[in-house]
Amino acid sequence: MQSIRNIAIIAHVDHGKTTLVDKIIHASKLFRENQESGELILDNNDLERERGITILSKNVSVTYKDVKINIIDTPGHADFGGEVERVLKMADGVLLLVDAFEGPMPQTRFVLSKALGLGLTPIVVVNKVDKENCRPDEVHEQVFDLMFNLDATEEQLDFETMYGSSKMGWMSDDWQNQTDSITPLLDKILETIPEAPSPEGTPQFQVTSLDYSAYVGRIAIGRVYQGKLEEGKSMGLTKADGSIKRVRIKELQVFEGLGRVKVSEVKAGDLCAIVGLEDFEIGDTLTDFENPEPLPRIAIDEPTMNMLFTINNSPGFGSEGKFVTSRHLRDRLMKEIEKNLALKVEETDTEDKFLVYGRGILHLSVLIETMRREGYELMVGQPQVIYKEIDGQRCEPIESLVVDVPEDVSGKVIELATQRKGELKIMEPKGDQQHLEFDIPSRGLIGLRNNILTATAGEAVMNHRFKEYQPYKGEIKGRSNGSLISMENGPGTAYSIDKLQDRGVFFVAPGEDLYTGQVIGEHSRENDLVVNIQKGKKLTNMRAAGSDDNSKIAPPRRFSLEEAMEYIQKDEYLEITPQNIRMRKIYLDENTRLRMAKSAG
């Protein structure tokens, strides 16, 4: 029987995790010599490639020296924390990948603490030692300190370390001694990571993640902890409420290379995918129906934010997207919750509006961006945090915010965070940077990244993750400037924009098609201002010397999707189409807005 090693890879965004997996795949000759595979094999969705982040965890399996190594890729971003914990349950060891210059980052700490808590055996890989001014020895010390602070056991602190460059395709146990291949790392995995145990007995398989296929529906993915599973066999599925229902395994698949292959049975210790289970949830155990032995359930992180999704009813709707009706929107959201577990969708009293709950701005924006690329048109409202009643007190989600920033601008960061009810917990120098840690309400984070990056000239590195619910911290002042709103339909002219520049900053360039009620800029004062930028210049045949100087217009301010989501106010929507992202007022007509403001006031 083939020996198995299950290993999860942990790394911060951009430390080279996906590249390393690519190299391991190449090293184990998964691709034929002449087969084109391209780079970043694992990040196969466009968004992941563009942002350079792994969003969904994926499994890959390679065979080296007759041992099957299952590599489980974990997301490095805290918004996807729910994924991380479940994925780690499938592993027996963990590969911690750190950058030889940056060292362990805040996000790594979150995943690593979970891995150590589960008792996994770590191997540390210090990557990118070919970069100039890297400091592999210092980074090794930092990793040791980090593990010590996370209460690692004696055995875990006695970890093995490998150095190398996954980009150049080499690994070695001494960073000054460059080898020519990545195999020393694979040898180290076989030596260090314990073999997956395969106890006999009642079958136990826990669902830790899921896949979705249009042909066979939901596919359960997880690890067989005990006994063996056989195709076509009738089993029991234990649910959250303690009940058990009879199910049948239609098809079993194990991971091989980048894909899955069909098998007739799977033994304990291996990871597999099961087709044909009806109505299962994450954490359910598949076991014997007559004498069930369920495994302890896995908790899923709950959402901390929600946004209103609705159909696009702006003047130009339907001109760019393929899917514009409420039925399209509903079907797409329902399809998403089949496989995106930290997401919840709630229907409202009108059939074209949905409340979508997620783990944070990034989590929700990835969904919106994906839908936009698929050809959907929709509108979303301002992100709202989710409050809870705990012991009769109104509580809100608090996040732990970590900012690394140059020393001379750290004062500005502290000022901005404390204005939003952030409490400074830790302040310590880290090289030539200042390391700051705050406890801050989730709603205080909305829009904060923009302000901090502006104040620090883009030098700050920010990360945050959910900590706990705490009593409500009081009012937080939102954006202090009002909006500039278009009065007419049609393209704006350079002449009008030039004349109105002292009123604020524009988000649109001359010639862009606008509509009444669209937010086209930020007012220099607190109130909203309706402006007409469609007016052309009055033409006369009189010419005065010097008065005809050309308009000098500041370039428009452009927003990314996340920036726009954080920027909009309560009475505004974000209109999202495959080609454009526009901000607009919920009520396009000015008189309706005034009436609504009066009745609300």
Residue 323, strand partner residues: 376
CATH fold of 388-471 reads: Alpha-Beta Plaits (3.30.70)
Q: Which of 244, 221, 353 is nearest to 290 (CA)?
A: 244
pLDDT in tens, 138-167: 888 888 888 887 778 888 888 888 888 877
For 116-152, the DSSP string reads HHTTPEEEEEEE-TTSTT--HHHHHHHHHHHHHHTT-
Q: Which of 413, 344, 385, 355 is nearest to 470 (CA)?
A: 385
Show Cβ contacts of residue 9 under 8 Å, excluding neighbours closer than 6 positions.
17, 20, 21, 71, 72, 73, 74, 94, 95, 97
Tokens of 134: 């890297």
Contact 89, 298 (CB under 8 A): yes
pLDDT of res. 53 = 43
Residue 428, strand partner residues: 435
Q: Which CATH architecture has domain 3-192?
A: 3-Layer(aba) Sandwich (3.40)
> How many whole angstroms from its chain centre is CA 219?
22
**Residue 548: pLDDT over 60:** no
Cα→Cα distances 206→87, 263, 298, Å: 11, 18, 9
pLDDT in tens, 163-220: 888 777 777 777 777 777 777 888 888 888 888 777 787 888 888 877 777 777 778 8
pLDDT in tens, 206-263: 888 777 777 777 788 888 888 888 888 888 888 877 788 888 888 888 888 777 888 8
Q: Where are the beta strands (DSSP E) in 50-199?
A: 59-64, 67-73, 93-99, 121-127, 160-165, 170-172
Degrees, nearest 5: CA angle 40-43-45: 130
The confidence band for 348, taking pLDDT boundaries of 50, 70 and 90, is confident
Q: Can you state the percent helix, strand and coil of the chain, rounding each to 5?
A: 25, 35, 40
Name the least confident of 64-78, 281-295, 426-440.
64-78
**Residue 57: pLDDT over 70:** no
Domain 204-287 has CATH 2.40.30.10: yes
d(C-alpha 15, C-alpha 98), whole Å: 6
**Residue 58: pLDDT over 70:** no
pLDDT in tens, 566-593: 888 888 899 999 998 999 998 988 888 8
Lookup result for tokens 């020296």: 65
Domain boundaries, the chain: 3-192, 204-287, 388-471, 483-540+549-600
Count the alpha carbons within 13 Å of 296 in the hemisphere toward its beta carbon: 3
pLDDT of res. 289 = 81
Show Cβ contacts of residue 215 under 8 Å, excluding neighbours closer than 6 positions.
none
Q: Is 23 exposed, middle or buried (0-12, 13-18, 19+ CB in 10 A)?
A: buried
Q: Identify the CATH number of the domain defined by range 483-540+549-600.
A: 2.40.50.250
Degrees, nearest 5: CA angle 57-101-131: 100
Give, as one character, the DSSP assignment of residue 49. Answer: H
Binding residues for GTP, as ranges, are 14-19, 127-130
Lookup result for tokens 């920036």: 563
List the helix and strand counts (H, then E) for the chain. 15, 35
**Residue 133: pLDDT over 80:** no
Show Cβ contacts of residue 165 under 8 Å, excluding neighbours closer than 6 positions.
127, 128, 129, 130
The CA dihedral of 397, 402, 405, 407, to the nearest 10 degrees, is 100
Name the least confident of 52-56, 170-174, 396-400.
52-56
Computed over every residue of the chain, the mean pLDDT equals 80
Contact 452, 462 (CB under 8 A): yes
Give, as one character, the DSSP assignment of residue 27. Answer: H
Please tell me the pTM assigned to this model: 0.68
pLDDT of res. 309 = 92
Show Cβ contacts of residue 47 under 8 Å, excluding neighbours closer than 6 positions.
55, 366, 369, 370, 373
What is the helix (H) or strand (E) element at residue 567, kind and residue range?
A: helix 561-567
**Residue 78: pLDDT over 60:** no
Show Cβ contacts of residue 398 under 8 Å, excluding neighbours closer than 6 positions.
439, 440, 441, 442, 467, 468, 469, 470
The confidence band for 379, taking pLDDT boundaries of 50, 70 and 90, is very high
d(C-alpha 361, C-alpha 531), whole Å: 31
What is the helix (H) or strand (E) element at residue 532, kind and residue range?
A: none
User: How many residues would you count in the chain?
Assistant: 601
For 284-347, the DSSP string reads -EEE-SSS--PPPP---PPP-EEEEEEE--STTTTSS-SB-SHHHHHHHHHHHHHH-TT-EEEE
> Which has more confidence, 45 or 443?
443
Binding residues, as ranges, are 14-19, 127-130
